[in-house]
Chains A and B, each alone.
Chain A
Amino acid sequence: MSRIGVFTCHCGENIGATVDCVKVAEMCKDIPGVVHSVEYKYMCSDPGQRQMQEAIKEHKLDGVVVAACSPRMHEPTFRRAAGDAGINPYMCEMANLREHCSWVHEKGEATTQKAADLIRVLVEKVKHNEPLHPIKVPVTRTAMVIGGGVGGIQVALDIANGGHKVVLVEKSPSIGGHMSQLSETFPTLDCSQCILTPRMVEAAQHPNITLMTYSEVEKVDGFIGNFKVTVRKKARKLDEHLCTGCGLCIQKCPNKKISDEFNEGLGTRTAIYVPFPQAVPNKPVIDTLNCTYYKTGKCKVCEKMCPTNAIRFDQEDELVTLDIGAIVLATGFKLMKTDAFPEYGYGKHKDIIDGMQFERLASASGPTSGVMKRPSDGRSPETVVFIACSGSRDRAKGVPYCSKICCMYTAKHAMLYKHKVHSGKAYVFYMDIRAAGKDYDEFVRRAIEEDEVKYIRGRVSKIYEEDGKLIVMGADTLMGGEPVVIKADMVVLATAVQSNDRSEELAQTLHVSYDSYGFFAEAHPKLRPVETNTAGIFLAGACQAPRDIPETVAQASGAAAKVVGLFSNEELTREPIVAVVNRQAAPVYSTCVGCFICQGACPYQAIEQEEIMARSGEVIMTLARINPGLCQGCGTCVATCRTKAIDLQGFSNEQLYAELMTL
């Protein structure tokens, strides 16, 4: 027989003004199973909680109903109090008299009656409650960071400095990401490489960090604290341990005319290459698509040249499986290509370039060694037009969102150009200048006022080529839409920031949500910005939305703090609100018939197949089993199960039907 206590709260005036709480407490005494019923002004206050705890001990209560506000507000409070008083916390339930009754009804007899009815329902539920125990899962204290740009490097360094192991996975041959391609950074104009490369070296040399460059995540199994990640180490075609990075192979490679990705197609590289001289690790890879040996079976010059005999033409990709406790996604972004714009010539004009190409033209390590030369004929451009919002905030042809970084880097580009070509003219077409950030607006003002960059508010409708010039036809909307025609030598499009190639594929591999543009979705846009909906997987940087460097680094440190916080526990405690497939003694074993419809319904891949074996080792039946580490307790499988073999702890069929039958 149950011994249930009911504690009715006035919530000050919130409940007390419309519900006669004294009468409710009296009425509750008549509910079968209730042995104690009292009311109090503020149940959640310290004296209120103490009163409940004393009653639990004094009346030997085995279940408690607190009739007060929403369980969202105070369920943890009262469960903790009940637990401290010696009963199982999950034997405490809340009846929501505030939102469900007093706030929505007038004062009166019917309202008081409804309050008592609500309590009656919850008393019936508590009668069917089972003591539940928090689930403990072990934690593997190794983090994986996917993406070796500035965000990924920061996450890795912060976690590593926190004393935990980190595996940093990067798909290209070197870490560094987009930031290593930049010339200078806004709003300080400090050299991007100079501030980034020391971090790259630090990450490479950190005893807690394992670099896995030229590698991609192939498969992720498991759950928070216990992931199993399979990484494909793409074949560099050389023995990394033997290679000293002397670069002789690169010098001697006869195939020198390959379009260079690091220089955004503005330069060339060899078939065996490192992306850039400061690459980390400084070990080349062979581009098998372009290598003469892989195409014709002849050459092998690099092998002959290599002083340490490190070249391995027969090297294969390698699959490595790692135990990982937490994953941070920092996979970055890509820029929309210039060929997406029919009105700007579909990318057929060599002198219409995107922002990243301009970075390479302006960079001291770029194909022109930082001298302004336009790509078509190498002449110094005398007039350059910069077009912001190329594809951003454009529902018709591009993406509806603001790419966030373009206003700033366009101002920076215009300044860099003016600093390099003093007599040159720089024009910027813009829709709005969005320069919110520390020292950002000042930076844009500096471009306009000190460097005399001409800002024209308006869009460009067309660019065409005539006599070696690019004719830019735009409008000045601040001059009443006056048409503007500029004969330019080079045009730089600030093209939209987009999610990286294959980001949706990766999201599906990791079971994290993503938006319609392929950006990964945070768990809550304001209060959980670095977490995903999947426990143990975090986000940093532009893989979530367009971000600049300071934001990326800040978010990276935030994600690292989450991981370090997670790793501060030996075990993880989780709410026991999870689904369970029933088990019985042989020969029934379970009412589960092994149809596994639940497996398709589960959003968390928490349902596994368990083979029931006889002593002989023969499989008698295959049953569903729910991994409590993965289950989030939605209960979809319970409703889907045709034999009612699954039940959700805390919201069991018995509990819910008991509530229903009391309505």
Chain B
Amino acid sequence: MRVLRVPCTGRIDYMMVLKALHKGADGVIVSGCHPNDCHYTSGNYHARRRWMVFKKMMEVMGVDMRRITFSWVSAAEGARWAQLVNEVTDQVRALGPYTEFRQVIGAGIE
């Protein structure tokens, strides 16, 4: 588990998620403040909107969406965050290394 710090989910370019998988991550969590409780007023709404499109596209392209988890966890929910991380790491561990991703992206995006 490695944490990459961004100011707001709104800052997340989903290309980063793909890059992480490409670099060998077996799973990715995208997480930030709850909708309507955004530290930056409304950044997470934009993140969510893009996520819906991104998710559809990845499904079409054959990316295993069990590898990418999108979840709202506020800064006051330490226990919830720990639980989420444990669940996701357990799930990703059970899935094993994501070697198919390289096949999915074919020639690669490098």
Contacts and interface: CB of A to CB of B under 8 A. Distances in A.
Given A636-B42, A659-B4, 15 more contacts: A100-B1, A121-B2, A577-B7, A604-B41, A634-B7, A634-B8, A636-B11, A639-B10, A639-B46, A640-B46, A640-B50, A651-B5, A651-B6, A660-B20, A663-B23
A601 B9 CA distance: 13
A661 B23 CA distance: 6
Contacts of A640: 46, 50
Contacts, number: 83
A635 B10 contact: yes
A47 B47 CA distance: 43
B10 A601 contact: yes
A412 to B, nearest CB: 38
A636 B43 contact: yes
Contact of B41 (A118, A603, A660): A603
A410 interface: no
B23 A639 contact: no
A633 interface: yes
Contacts of A104: 1, 82
A521 to B, nearest CB: 10
A640 B53 CA distance: 13
B6 A603 contact: no
Interface residues of B, number: 28
Contacts of B102: none
Given A633-B7, A657-B19, A639 B25 contact: no
A224 to B, nearest CB: 15
A653 B14 CA distance: 12
Nearest to A72: B75
Given A660-B23, A661-B23, A648 B2 contact: no
B16 A651 contact: no
Contacts of A634: 7-8, 10-11, 39-41, 43
A71 B46 CA distance: 26
B5 A635 contact: no
- B interface, over-half SS: loop
A656 B23 contact: no
A96 B46 contact: no
Interface in A228-272: none
A594 B25 CA distance: 36
Interface string A618-650: 000000000000001111101110000000100
Contacts of A96: 3
A636 B8 contact: yes
B63 interface: no
Given A635-B43, A638-B13, A661 B8 contact: no
The range of chain A's interface size is 20 to 34
Contacts of A365: none
A280 B41 CA distance: 39
A653 B13 contact: yes
A71 B80 CA distance: 21
Nearest to A579: B11
Interface string A117-148: 11001000000000000000000000000000
Top 8 closest A-B pairs, CB basis? A635-B11, A636-B10, A634-B40, A603-B41, A634-B8, A636-B43, A634-B43, A603-B42
Contact of B16 (A100, A118, A604, A656): A656
B5 A71 contact: yes
A461 interface: no
A124 to B, nearest CB: 11
Contacts of A657: 16, 19
A663 B7 contact: no
A660 B16 CA distance: 8
Contacts of B38: 603
Given A533-B41, A603-B43, A648 B11 contact: yes
Nearest to A633: B7
Nearest to A511: B41
A659 B3 CA distance: 10
B35 to A, nearest CB: 13
19 contacts: A100-B1, A104-B82, A533-B41, A577-B7, A601-B10, A603-B43, A635-B10, A635-B43, A636-B8, A636-B40, A638-B13, A639-B13, A639-B47, A639-B50, A640-B50, A651-B5, A651-B6, A657-B16, A661-B23
A513 interface: yes
Contacts of B19: 657, 660-661
A513 B39 CA distance: 11
A147 to B, nearest CB: 23
A636 B23 contact: no
A648 B50 contact: no
Contact of A635 (B3, B4, B8, B50): B8
Contacts of A636: 8, 10-11, 40, 42-43, 46-47
Nearest to B17: A660
B3 A100 contact: yes
Residue from A513, A648, A656 with most neighbouring chain B CB atoms (10 Å): A656
A428 B29 CA distance: 56
A634 B2 CA distance: 21
A624 B66 CA distance: 38
B68 interface: no
Contacts of B84: none
Nearest to A513: B41
A129 B80 CA distance: 33
Interface in A524-546: 533
